[in-house]
């Protein structure tokens, strides 16, 4: 009986905007990828410059995010490199990168320096960009990449 209730609950969550358990796993994934991203930005922002450090951080975040999103957050059983899934992941990630860069540069270069020292403003901007990307990516992956937000026919 408990197994049937769990299956019914899982199917109910498929049609919902947000599945709380899946979202919690995605947040863990996003936080882990964000820490990796920001760690790279922190290390590289002086020798490579802010924008280059952001791009390197995003690349590190991508690698972490791809593996954890697939295996942990959305529990996809498709093989690694499965064409459609990988292409959809990359499309959602590319949109997320654009959002990340726009928010990070706007905040880190133009808005936050009004109140913060430039280095602190840049790191805060990088954090805001990465955090925004985490939330926008959840919906892209839920409804497009892995399609866990769509009800199954029948």
pLDDT digits (tens, 9 = 90+) for 20-76: 999 999 999 988 998 999 999 999 999 999 999 999 998 998 889 888 999 999 998
Tell me the C-alpha distance between 47 and 144, whole Å.
Answer: 38
- Per-residue pLDDT at 34: 86
Residue 97 predicted with pLDDT over 50: yes
Cα 39 from Cα 53, distance rounded (Å): 10
The residue-averaged pLDDT of 80-88 equals 77
Which pLDDT belongs to residue 116? 97
The CA-CA-CA angle for residues 154, 82, 141, to 5°, reads 60
Output the CA torsion sign for 120, 38, 130, 23: negative
Supply φ then ψ for residue 3, to 5 degrees. -65, -40
pLDDT of residue 32: 93
Query: What is the average per-residue pLDDT within 109-130?
Result: 96
Helices 20-48 and 2-14, packing angle to 10 deg: 50
pLDDT above 90 (res 117): yes
pLDDT of residue 2: 53
pLDDT over 70 percentage in the chain: 86
DSSP code for 131: H
The overall average pLDDT reported for the chain is 87
- The pLDDT, as a whole number, for residue 13 is 64
pLDDT at 79 over 60: yes
Which tokens go with 147? Answer: 């399609």
């Amino acid at each position: 009986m408990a197994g049937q209730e769990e299956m019914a609950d899982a199917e109910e969550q498929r049609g919902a905007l947000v599945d709380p358990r899946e979202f919690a796993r995605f947040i863990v994934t996003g936080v882990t990828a964000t820490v990796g991203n920001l760690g790279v930005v922190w290390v590289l922002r002086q020798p490579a410059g802010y924008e280059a450090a952001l791009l390197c951080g995003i690349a590190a975040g991508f690698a972490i995010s791809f593996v954890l999103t697939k295996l942990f957050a959305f529990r996809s059983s498709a093989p690694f490199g499965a064409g459609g899934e990988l292409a959809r992941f990359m499309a959602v990630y590319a949109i997320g990168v654009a959002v990340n860069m726009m928010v990070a540069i706007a905040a880190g270069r133009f808005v936050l320096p009004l109140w913060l020292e430039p280095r602190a403003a840049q790191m805060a901007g990088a954090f805001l960009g990465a955090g925004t990307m985490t939330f926008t990516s959840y919906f892209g992956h839920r409804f497009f990449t892995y399609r866990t937000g769509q009800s199954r026919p029948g």
